[in-house]
Every structure is written in C-alpha cells, then in structure tokens.
Amino acid sequence: MNRPCLINSLDDPRVDAFRDVRDRDLRGRDGFFMAESELVLRRLLRQPERLHSLLVSREKWGRLESELRDLPDSIPIYVADLDVIGEVAGFHVHRGVLALGHRPDARELSMTHVLEGLDRSRPRTLLLATGITNVDNMGSLFRNAAAFGIDAIILDGTCCDPLYRKSIRVSMGHVLGVPWAVTEDWIGSLGELKDRWGVHLVAAECDERSRCVSVFPFPEHVALIVGAEGAGLDEGTRSICDSIVEIPMAREVPSLNVATAAAIFMWERRRSSLVEK
C-alpha cells in the first residue's frame, strides 16, 4: 500500500523535479514530462508504468486516496498545501495535481513501432500532421483524434512536443492514450505508408486537384494529412499523396484553424464508415 509523503518545506529536495515548471517546460525534463489536473492523472493511472512521482494537494489526496494507494511503492506521492505546491512549481496549481511521467523513448515513438501495434484485421485511420508548432492546436488535434476514433497520429519533426504540459491539458489527457509517432524523414515516411503499409494518403488542402471531402469515397486504410494554417501542405507532400480533399467554405474565408479543419475531415471519414455499416 502506497503511503503519501508530507511536504511542509519549500526547500524539501524530494520535490526538486517539480520546481519552476513553466521555465523547464521549454528546456526539456531529461526524459520526463509534466502533467496537471485530476482528469489527466486518472488517464495516467491506466498506465502506471509511465508515472514517476506525484505532487498533490491535501484535498486531492482525500479525493483520490483509494486509487493512489494502489500504486507501486516505487512511485512516490508527495502531499502538500496548495500554496506550497504553487511556490514549488512557480505558478498557481489551482487543480491541485502535478504528475511527473516518463517520456516514451525513441523506439516507442518510431512509426514502425506504432503501426505494428495496431489491429491489422480492420480498417485503419491515421492522422498525419506537419508544421504544427502551436501547443493549443496540438492538444486539440489529439482530443479530436480520440473523439473520432483515429488509430494513431504521426508527426513530422517540425511539430511541437505533444507532451508539453499545456498540450496535455488541452487534449484532456488524450495525448496519453492515442498512439503517436514522430518522423524526421517526412517524405520517406509517406512513401513507406503507401508502399509497405498499404495506406491511401489523403492531403487536406485547397487547390485545383481537390475534391469535396463530403463526397470523397474513403478507402479502407487511410491517412489524413494536415498542415499548419496559412502554410498548409507543401507541393512535395501533395505530390506524393493519392488524393487531395477540401472543405467547401465561403469565398471570404480561405482557411480554418488546423484542429477545426482536421475534426471535420475526421468526422467525414467516420461518417462514411458508419454509412457503410
């Protein structure tokens, strides 16, 4: 049975990993990530091997005690007053929960590893993203992907880290549940998806080759590919794709936020599969 460690001093070295959270978000955490909120912690509890340690308020310990006591003793649980947690973290932790987790390693984040873990006996839908540098958009992509049953997300190396604290929070913790990979060879990976994995590549972009997404006949295995608002997808990406689709919009509005647009594309894919059933 896991027992909490009470923290009464700001200088207690046992909570050093939780210090100055906002600054260290930008510098990296030596193989760790930081998450906050009870909702996100509950998602992490489904995979306790990801947890390193917890810093929670007395109130949250009271709410979560029955679940946290079942954690292995190797995962320390620190309990402190809310103002102490805020002083340690460097900001007001009004949700009363900070969780330090182990980041996936390079093998776990490889495209091959992620795709091999998927069920090959049924249709697969992937979301691919390039150039997404806004953490709010990244978190929203994961939340939307979870909502529409996306099997995995593949990011190029220019995207921001999905494990930024804010990205995890915006995703409602779904960054911790939706499988994802990062590739540094974007075009090469697109080719591999087609040739090795039999995935039909669909670019989300407006040009003279685009088809309306609402009437597009989605194939069995498909990857929806989105880029940042404004820049969109470059010609190299579009040229390797099998199809290009667009959302019909008013002429005065040339583009949508990437998370919003991706949600529409993912819904159309899901809708088509429901109609087929």
Would you state the pLDDT for residue 232? 85
Binned at pLDDT 50, 70 and 90, residue 30 comes out as confident
* Angle subtended by helix axes 135-147 and 258-276, to nearest 10: 10
* All residues at 6 or more sequence positions from 246 whose CB lies less than 8 Å from its CB, including other chains: 204, 205, 206, 210, 211, 212, 213
Secondary structure (DSSP) of 111-167: HHHHHHTS-TTS--EEEEEES---HHHHHHHHHHHHHTT--EEEEETTSPPTTSHHH
Q: What is the mean pLDDT of the chain?
A: 92
Is pLDDT above 60 for 165?
yes
pLDDT in tens, 182-218: 999 999 999 999 999 999 999 999 888 889 999 999 9
Would you state the pLDDT for residue 114? 98
Mean pLDDT, residues 131-157? 97
**Higher per-residue confidence, 230 vs 28:** 230
Show the domains of the chain with their CATH numbers.
Answer: 5-102 (3.30.1330.30), 111-276 (3.40.1280.10)
Mean pLDDT, residues 61-69? 94
Would you state the pLDDT for residue 105? 94
Percent of the chain scoring above 90 in pLDDT: 81
